A and B are shown apart, each in its own frame.
Chain A
Amino acid sequence: MAINWFKYSSPPSFYSLAGKMIPLFSITSIVLFALGLYIGFFVAPTDFQQSEAYRIIFIHVPAAWMSMFLYLIMAGWAAIGLAFNTRLSSMIATAIAPTGAMFTFLALWTGAFWGKPMWGTWWVWDARLTSELILLFLYIGFMALQAAIDDPRRADKAGAVIALVGVVNIPIIYFSVKWWNTLHQGATVSLTQSPKMATTMLTGMLIMSLACWMYSIAVILMRTRTIILERERNTMWVSDLQGAA
């Protein structure tokens, strides 16, 4: 039995599907956050160099990963919306931006808090830190541009262009520690090498990342639903929905 995926690209059916999925992702996220934080703060061992201060890694790294992943997903949806003129794709892209910006800010903020005691400075203009800051500006630029244009379809197109241009920055962030001398250390976890951290620490970090994913999906679905309602407020199905409520 084939699922008709195109059915869910129509805002009304996506609206009800998302409504059913939100509780699922929210609950999974809460459970995983509780588990991940417990492992991070109580189970994972003390580090040999940084002792307890390293524990900020359980928030810092998942946040930094999410900031990059979400940007790619946002740009992907924006590109689909631009190429195929599908309204819902652009709405999802718009819904991703604030969550992406939040994770970027969190990565920078926790990084500063970590940098002060360990490196001896809150901030340096090295390639990794600077490119992550540019990512924050890209998210803010995307949101500001969309907010500045009244016609939502034109706002979608303009946003898609800025999102696609910014994709260049993602490999720069990821490989910055490899391509240039930076104060930020190299990757602990990568696809090509075995992780350079104790298994319990890694487990905690991966569970936290999964929790961030679930949180992001739940919040983005909620925001997409709001955007759908806002843009389709003059349609029959939305007034029917209001009548039913």
Chain B
Amino acid sequence: MKPRHRKLTIIIMSVAALGLAATLVLDAFQSNLVFFFSPSQVAANEAPKGKSFRIGGLVEEGSVKRESDGVTVNFVVTDTAKVIPVVYTGILPDLFKEGKGVVAQGKLSSDGIFRADEVLAKHDENYMPPEAADALEQAKKSQKTVMTD
């Protein structure tokens, strides 16, 4: 082997070894790299107890209720399998909507209600004009009626 080829082999092997090491480290830290827990994970006791953590999912349709003080909001976070009721006092982001993604930080109290001190909106990766979104919505609805008929 020529010296420069040997050098290249050493470089490629070191990068591969480094990649392997990084994979193992990331795998070991898997649970700490998670930004939020889903309601199912919380139900399976995977979320930290007694500590502040984040939950994420969709805001359940028809679940958003404002209290009479005007700033306290009750809503339900769902991952379509499990649900968590959330109560939050403060300003909500513009994208906070029923049926859309949300990430809330706070503590789970003993009565099973998640008391959030921060609510962030998590939007999806789809971009389209409103007309296209309406058309999709219509198509979904008509499909549903066909199925129920």
Contact = CB atoms under 8 A, between A and B. Distances in A.
Interface of A: 45-50, 54, 57, 79, 82-85, 117-121, 124-127, 164-165, 167-168, 172, 179-183, 185-188, 196-198, 201
B119 A48 contact: no
B39 interface: no
Q: Which of B118, B122, B132 has the most CB of A within 10 A?
A: B122
Nearest to B103: A183
Nearest to B127: A197
Given A120-B92, A168-B19, A181-B35, A48 B125 contact: no
B125 A187 contact: yes
A84 B95 CA distance: 53
B3 to A, nearest CB: 10
B83 to A, nearest CB: 17
A124 B119 CA distance: 12
Sorting the interface of chain B by its residue count into under 10, 10 to 19, 20 to 34 or 35 or more gives: 35 or more
B120 A119 contact: yes
B119 A120 contact: yes
Contact of A164 (B15, B22, B33, B94): B15
Nearest to A186: B125
A49 B120 contact: no
Contacts of A187: 125
Contacts of B93: 117-120
Nearest to B134: A48
B49 interface: no
A49 B129 CA distance: 9
A121 B123 contact: no
Given A50-B95, A83-B4, A126-B35, A183 B120 contact: yes
Nearest to B30: A180
B94 A118 contact: yes
A198 B133 CA distance: 10
Contact of B120 (A47, A120, A186, A197): A120
Contacts of A183: 35-36, 103, 120, 122
A125 B126 CA distance: 23
